[in-house]
Amino acid sequence: ELQFVESGGGLVQPGGSLRLSCAAAGIIFNERAMGWFRQAPGKEREVVASISFSNNDKYYADSVKGRFTISRDNVKNMMYLQMNSLEPEDTAVYYCARGFGITVITTMGGFASWGQGTQVTVSA
């Protein structure tokens, strides 16, 4: 059974940092691109970052470039999102997701499946 479990979300003050983790099971992890997307209340889902199967290519939304870093460990079947300089606009539920193919994902249509999500709240 395909399964993703996200962790690491929480409440943080503006300017703070969080590190999200995604544990994947039930798939051959290194055969697919992976990524994170988020959804804030009343807003559409937004691709935040993605990483190719080989770890060589990465994509970031303009809104998070220079602040977020995506990485993966194909031995441990884990993916991470290091989030620095967090802003209130980053408040959302963050989802770990798998792509259909091996290259970076830039639109929501490129995700094949995802987890339950983890809440990130940035507030003073």
Q: Give the pLDDT confidence score for residue 72 in this predicted structure.
A: 95
Residue 6 has pLDDT above 90, yes or no: yes
Beta bridge partners of 79: 22, 72
Give the pLDDT band (50/70/90) at residue 2: confident
pLDDT by residue (tens digit) across 36-74? 999 999 999 999 999 999 888 999 999 999 999 999 999
Q: Give the pLDDT confidence score for residue 27 in this predicted structure.
A: 73
Q: Stretch 26-30: mean pLDDT, rounded?
A: 73
Give the pLDDT band (50/70/90) at residue 91: very high
Q: Stretch 12-35: mean pLDDT, rounded?
A: 91
Three-state secondary structure readout of 51-91: ECCCCCCEEECCCCCCCEEEEEECCCCEEEEEECCCCHHHC
Q: Give the pLDDT confidence score for residue 36 in this predicted structure.
A: 98
